Amino acid sequence: VKLVKSDEAPVQEMEQAEGEETEKKSESGPCFPPTFSVSEIKNKQRRHSMFLKLKEEKRKQKLELKKKKKKERKALGDKAPPKEVPKTIENQRIYDETTVNPEDEEVAFDEGTDEFSAYFNRLTNPKVLITTSDRPRGRTVRFCEQLATVIPHAHVYYRRGLALKRVIPQCVSRGFTYLMVINEDRKVPNGLVLCHLPDGPTAHFKVSNVRLRKEMKRRGKDPTEHVPEVILNNFTTRLGHSIGRMFAALFPHDPQFVGRQVATFHNQRDFIFFRFHRYIFKNEKKVGIQELGPRFTLKLRSLQKGTFDSKFGEYEWVHKRHEMDSSRRKFHL
């Protein structure tokens, strides 16, 4: 039983034409002020029922609109306007001015002379040293071992409380090209420092969602010693390009297609997903992939120009939360 009060009204009645309003008035009773909203009703039950009615109305209208559109589309047949593309975050992404144009000469020149040029000109072969922070727990150790199987020419060393600044010159002298340090917190790997050794850039990532091999569903056998292929997806900006090259330089140049293994670094909304698969071509239009190997996600926290030096380093890019996380459509990689 609804009490007739002058300041309570369903909002839908205000949306109808004024002529009808007077009719409605006589039916359900009161006249309602135009600035009424459902939230002003103090009684919870009544407010709730009003809100449900409102929602129902809206849903009906939406359905009607849809039906109408569909009819129009059918009626027009071929002449119908093309279907509207739904808005996604990738569509609405704020254009980053550092996006690399494929034909850009300046970028090409820069990339020809940066720290990775030695690798890309086939002068050096990658050799990776994987280590952890102090006193790693089992999960981190196993993760390191699995990474070492995924990345060819990778060696795992136990960190005996050594300072990175002392480790780096030793690595350089032994011919390593990469130093990978996996930081651990609460028995779980949560950070990755990737340092290109002959004074190359150092990238610090946040690692999340690490899945070891035995936690993978329907996984295949262990990865073999063949050199995998590398897929780098969606690295569009200058920063993305440099990070992409960093990942590419981890792996030797010539992948052995016999091994049919592929390592993927896929960037989506500033999260880099790493996957390791074995593929098989069923026919020329279909390929089957089976996930081996560990999987994890990375998020870039900072990129530093020289080798690891947290105090005096020159940071090329640092993730500043308040500036960079304010917009949901702005990505940097």
Partner 1 sequence: MQHDDVIWDLIGNKSFCSYKVKTKTQQFCRNEYNITGLCNRSSCPLANSQYATVREEKGLCYLYMKVIERAAFPARMWEKVKLDRNYAKALEQIDENLIYWPRFIRHKCKQRLTKITQYLIRIRKLTLKRQRKLVPLSRKVERREKRREEKALIAAQLENAIEKELLDRLKQGTYGDIYNFPIHAFDKAMEKQEEETESEEEEEEDEEESGTREFVAEEEFEESDLSDFEDMNNLKGSSDEEEDAEEQSSEEEETEEELEEEKTKAKSKGKTPLKGPVRKKRAYVEIEYEQETEPAQKSKAT
Binding residues vs partner 1 (CB under 8 A): 88-90, 134, 161, 163, 208-209, 229, 231, 233, 257-258, 262, 264, 266, 268-271, 273, 275, 277, 279, 281, 283-285, 287, 289, 297, 299, 321, 325
Which CB atom, from 109 or from 257, has the smaller least distance to partner 1? Answer: 257
Q: Hey, what amino acid is at 115?
A: E
Give the DSSP H/E element, type plus range, for residue 172. helix 164-173
Which CB atom, from 52 or from 280, has the smaller least distance to partner 1? Answer: 280
Cα torsion 89, 324, 321, 180: sign = positive
Which CB atom, from 113 or from 283, has the smaller least distance to partner 1? Answer: 283
Which CB atom, from 124 or from 234, has the smaller least distance to partner 1? Answer: 234
Q: How far is the CB of 104 from partner 1 (least distance, A)?
A: 22
Question: Is the Cβ–Cβ distance between 217 and 238 less than 8 Å?
Answer: no
Which CB atom, from 17 or from 163, has the smaller least distance to partner 1? Answer: 163
Q: How far is the CB of 78 from partner 1 (least distance, A)?
A: 26
Q: How far is the CB of 310 from partner 1 (least distance, A)?
A: 9
* Residue among 296, 270, 305 at smallest CA distance from 196: 305
Residue 96, Cβ density class (10 Å: 0-12 exposed, 13-18 middle, ≥19 buried): middle
Neighbouring CB atoms inside 10 A of 147's CB total 22
Which CB atom, from 225 or from 284, has the smaller least distance to partner 1? Answer: 284
Interacting residues of 279 by C-beta distance below 8 A, sequence separation 6+: 260, 261, 262, 287, 288, 289, 290
Which CB atom, from 32 or from 265, has the smaller least distance to partner 1? Answer: 265
* Residue among 255, 301, 244, 300 at smallest CA distance from 279: 255
Q: How far is the CB of 208 from partner 1 (least distance, A)?
A: 6
Q: How far is the CB of 297 from partner 1 (least distance, A)?
A: 6
3-class state of residue 219 by DSSP: coil
Question: Is the Cβ–Cβ distance between 279 and 287 less than 8 Å?
Answer: yes
Paired residues of 288 in beta bridges: 280
Q: How far is the CB of 239 from partner 1 (least distance, A)?
A: 17
Task: Please give the Cα distance from 269 to 277 (Å, whole number).
Answer: 22
Task: Please give the Cα distance from 260 to 328 (Å, whole number).
Answer: 38
Which CB atom, from 146 or from 267, has the smaller least distance to partner 1? Answer: 267
Q: Hey, what amino acid is at 67?
A: K
Q: How far is the CB of 271 from partner 1 (least distance, A)?
A: 5
Q: How far is the CB of 177 from partner 1 (least distance, A)?
A: 24
